[in-house]
């Protein structure tokens, strides 16, 4: 048949037949389309369909060549750019995919598939803000329902209250509208109502199991809600459908890092870097995982690559400083100073540079200028992380009021019988990572990470209290029966199982903020060990002040707040010493440095463990370490850091004033003053 001489209807029929073949037999579709293009050379629709058939038949290179020729001939055809972007993505050419997809949405903004694919690639590169905006545009254009269109537009423009009102009205009219459910879940997630978002997405997927966009949202909500095992299962379902999707693979890498599968995370990030070799954010994420796994030189190289790709990427520079053992060169300091001189530098990059320069100059003993940068970094950081010292003090007073000897006596025998956990609590930068490294060098103990399970438990109890944002979980805890306390303890053991990679009978949870929840831990896990890591108030306070924390620890960005927080911490731990004598083992960092052998033996004795000499050679332990001290604890104990804060004493007056009598009462301070008088 010579299509060139046939009526146009015959060409349309041939194209329709090729389209039907494409769905079931890509090879036959290719043959049909080649025949069409012989008769009608350079026919745009036929050429586009040929490329799609080539992708379906596995001929990615040929498809990309076809599409490049097509976009050269039809430069303003959004659909051709979309298919080229999809083909580049399938071939693992992430940067090229991003370029084509951006061009597609630029030419035709109302193309939901292009926005979704663009969002996936942006998510894979760590551009959370960009991916969120792209997904919002996908929502906006993926529906033709006028009510949902209005809601999507409101969501896209961050008019959250309006979007929520429209979506709730829609679901009252159509209770099974899965698109509305997914959008309302997005509203709930943005408002921090993760349980509501999870429930909506579970219902959505119950009604529409093939709704992959909703499942992706569900996996992310589960991950953010500290349910990594469930999130991983959902991501695997998505990967079974689309194993090339970069966003799915990126989220899987992040989840694997959360559960301690660092080798798996490193492999995934390495594969993503092959697709996005010039993306500074993926190099940064790769560096973080390498650092945690103890591959220091590779981590430095990854961070260096990130800074080279994006000189103004403050977090990458801070990540080098945060290795603690890394030293910047003169040229590095000059680059950072030039970046801070920019008027257009984003505030997040700026405070990362301030902290990094503070560390660089501290290493050079330029203490006045170092403190100036630390101070500026803290001033910038605390603008975005509000903290109320009064609220912390109120919670501590409520805990002291509630947790009396009588309260604990009435609940004796409650909780889970499990003796697996060893909790290390206190303030950050107090030596807790060193204690964890020592204990995890014992064959009966496994180190994990700063586990969020206890804090998640307090949030669950707070929601049950039903008194709004000002409620404390103590209101619910006081009403729980023994069975409920046992259930909470067993839930903790179940939820943390995914973090355990060995058969060791004990594991460490070193979330420092758990000192606020010693009473809860005692009730739900009465046989768990609790170790209080304590360090000189000025040394600990200043060490926190010069540390930029990825999340949490909002009290550390003000010297006054730090002093008050330390004071509350001491008061609460002193209370538990009175009402639960001997329950908590205190380890003073300075004594651990001065008498390592004696303190390690006492620590093991408290944990019911026989002495093992490996605990004194903790620096030979090559386990992954996720905290800022990861490189320091891979070295023998050194005394250099004990008095480092004194170099900054002229500027630490607010910390000293806020600490008050706690400073004078610190055990090591008293001992040293006694030694001096003698």
Domain boundary among 65, 80, 107: 65
Residue 590 scores a pLDDT above 60: yes
Provide the token pair at 463: 């929601």
Q: For residue 136, what pLDDT band results from cuts at 50, 70 and 90?
A: confident
pTM comes to 0.83
Mean pLDDT of 272-296: 92
Rounded distance, CA 407 to CA 473, Å? 16
Q: Which residues pair with 422 in a beta bridge?
A: 508, 529
Domain assignment present for residue 143? The answer is: no
Domain assignment present for residue 330? The answer is: no
Task: List the CATH number of the domain containing 449.
Answer: 3.40.50.300
Q: Which structural domain, as residue segments, surrounds residue 11?
A: 1-65
Tell me the pLDDT tens digit for each residue of 383-403. 989 899 999 999 999 999 999
Cα-based angle 103, 105, 109 (whole degrees, multiple of 5): 145
**pLDDT cut 70: percent of the chain above it:** 93
Residue 2 scores a pLDDT above 50: no
Q: For residue 416, what pLDDT band results from cuts at 50, 70 and 90?
A: very high
Mean pLDDT of 595-612: 94
Domain assignment present for residue 626? The answer is: yes
Positive or negative: CA dihedral 51, 55, 56, 58: positive
Mean pLDDT of 98-110: 95
Which stretch of 130-139, 266-275, 429-438, 443-452 has the lowest confidence by average pLDDT?
A: 130-139
**Cβ count near 466 (within 10 Å):** 9
Residue 296 scores a pLDDT above 80: yes
Domain boundary among 65, 82, 109: 65
Rounded distance, CA 198 to CA 222, Å? 7
Provide the token pair at 435: 């204690």
Domain boundary among 13, 48, 65: 65
Rounded distance, CA 608 to CA 621, Å? 21
Domain assignment present for residue 576? The answer is: yes
**pLDDT cut 90: percent of the chain above it:** 67
The angle that helices 212-224 and 228-241 make with each other, rounded to 10 degrees, is: 160
Give every CB contact of residue 107 below 8 A, 6+ residues apart in sequence.
76, 77, 78, 81
Domain assignment present for residue 301? The answer is: no
Domain assignment present for residue 659? The answer is: yes
User: 3-state class of 422 per DSSP?
Assistant: strand
Rg of the chain on CA atoms, in Å: 29
Q: For residue 676, what pLDDT band results from cuts at 50, 70 and 90?
A: very low
Q: Which residues pair with 462 in a beta bridge?
A: none
What's the length of the chain? 678
Task: Please tell me the total count of domains within the chain.
Answer: 2
Tell me the pLDDT tens digit for each residue of 477-527. 999 999 999 999 999 999 999 889 899 999 999 999 999 999 999 999 999
Give every CB contact of residue 301 below 8 A, 6+ residues apart in sequence.
none
Q: Which residue is listed with tokens 């404390």?
A: 472
Q: Which residue is listed with tokens 């206890």?
A: 454
Residue 443 scores a pLDDT above 90: yes
Rounded distance, CA 416 to CA 503, Å? 20
Q: For residue 33, what pLDDT band results from cuts at 50, 70 and 90?
A: confident
Domain assignment present for residue 619? The answer is: yes
Tell me the pLDDT tens digit for each residue of 627-667. 544 455 445 566 666 788 999 999 999 999 999 999 987 76
Residue 570 scores a pLDDT above 70: yes
Residue 565 scores a pLDDT above 70: yes
pLDDT at position 129 is: 85
Domain assignment present for residue 57? The answer is: yes
pLDDT at position 449 is: 84
Q: Which residues pair with 421 in a beta bridge?
A: 507
User: 3-state class of 295 per DSSP?
Assistant: coil
pLDDT at position 441 is: 92
């Amino acid at each position: 048949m010579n299509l060139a001489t046939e009526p146009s209807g015959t060409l349309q029929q041939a194209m329709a037949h090729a389209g039907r073949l494409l769905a079931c037999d890509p090879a036959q579709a290719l043959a049909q389309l080649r025949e069409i293009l012989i008769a009608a050379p350079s026919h745009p629709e036929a050429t586009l369909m040929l490329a799609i058939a080539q992708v379906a038949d596995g001929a990615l290179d040929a498809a990309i060549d076809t599409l490049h020729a097509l976009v050269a001939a039809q430069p303003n055809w959004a659909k051709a750019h979309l298919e080229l972007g999809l083909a580049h993505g399938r071939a693992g050419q992430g940067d090229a995919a991003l370029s084509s997809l951006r061009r597609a949405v630029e030419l035709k903004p109302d193309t939901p598939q292009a926005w979704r694919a663009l969002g996936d690639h942006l998510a894979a590169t760590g551009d959370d803000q960009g991916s969120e905006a792209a997904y919002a545009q996908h929502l906006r254009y993926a529906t033709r329902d006028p009510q949902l269109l209005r809601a999507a537009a409101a969501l896209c423009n961050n008019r959250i209250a309006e979007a929520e009102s429209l979506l709730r009205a829609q679901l009252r009219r159509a209770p099974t509208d899965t698109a509305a459910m997914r959008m309302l879940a997005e509203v709930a997630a943005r408002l921090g109502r993760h349980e509501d978002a999870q429930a909506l997405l579970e219902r959505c997927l119950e009604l529409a199991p093939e709704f992959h966009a909703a499942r992706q949202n569900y996996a992310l909500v589960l991950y953010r809600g500290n349910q990594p095992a469930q999130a991983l299962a959902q991501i695997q379902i998505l990967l079974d459908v689309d194993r090339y999707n970069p966003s799915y693979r990126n989220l899987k890498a992040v989840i694997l890092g959360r559960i301690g599968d660092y080798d798996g995370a490193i492999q995934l990030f390495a594969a993503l870097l092959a697709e996005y070799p010039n993306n500074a954010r993926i190099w940064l994420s790769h560096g973080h995982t390498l650092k945690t796994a103890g591959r220091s030189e590779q981590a430095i190289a990854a961070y260096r690559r990130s800074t080279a790709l994006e000189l103004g990427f403050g977090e990458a520079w801070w990540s080098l400083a945060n290795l603690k053992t890394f030293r910047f060169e003169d040229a590095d300091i000059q680059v950072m100073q030039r970046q801070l001189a920019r008027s257009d530098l984003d505030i997040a990059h700026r405070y990362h540079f301030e902290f990094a320069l503070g560390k660089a100059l501290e290493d050079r003993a330029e203490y006045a200028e170092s403190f100036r940068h630390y101070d500026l970094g803290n001033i910038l950081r605390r603008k975005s992380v509000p903290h109320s010292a009064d609220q912390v003090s109120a919670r501590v007073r409520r805990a002291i009021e509630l947790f009396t000897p009588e309260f604990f006596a009435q609940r004796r025998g409650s909780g889970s019988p499990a003796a697996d956990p060893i909790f290390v609590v206190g303030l950050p930068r107090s030596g807790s990572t060193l204690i964890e490294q020592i204990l995890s060098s014992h064959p009966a103990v496994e180190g994990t990470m700063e586990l969020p399970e206890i804090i998640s438990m307090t949030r669950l109890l707070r929601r049950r209290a039903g008194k709004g944002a000002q409620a404390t979980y103590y209101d619910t805890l006081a009403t729980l029966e023994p069975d409920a306390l046992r259930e909470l303890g067993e839930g903790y053991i179940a939820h943390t199982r995914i973090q355990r990679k060995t058969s060791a009978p004990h594991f460490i949870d070193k979330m420092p903020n758990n000192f606020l929840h010693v009473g809860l831990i005692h009730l739900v896990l009465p046989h768990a060990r609790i170790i209080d890591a304590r360090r000189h108030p000025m040394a600990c306070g200043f060490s926190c002040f010069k540390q930029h924390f990825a999340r949490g620890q909002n009290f550390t960005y003000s010297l006054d707040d730090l002093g008050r927080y330390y004071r509350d911490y001491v008061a609460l731990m002193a209370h538990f010493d009175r009402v639960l004598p001997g329950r908590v083992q205190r380890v003073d960092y300075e004594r651990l440095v001065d008498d390592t052998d004696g303190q390690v033996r006492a620590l093991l004795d408290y944990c019911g463990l026989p002495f093992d000499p490996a605990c004194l050679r903790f620096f030979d332990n090559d386990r992954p370490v996720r905290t800022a001290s990861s490189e320091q604890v891979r070295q023998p104990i050194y005394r250099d850091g004990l008095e480092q804060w004194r170099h900054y004493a002229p500027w630490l007056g607010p910390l000293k004033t806020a600490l008050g009598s706690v400073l004078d009462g610190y055990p090591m301070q008293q001992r040293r003053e006694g030694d001096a008088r003698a």
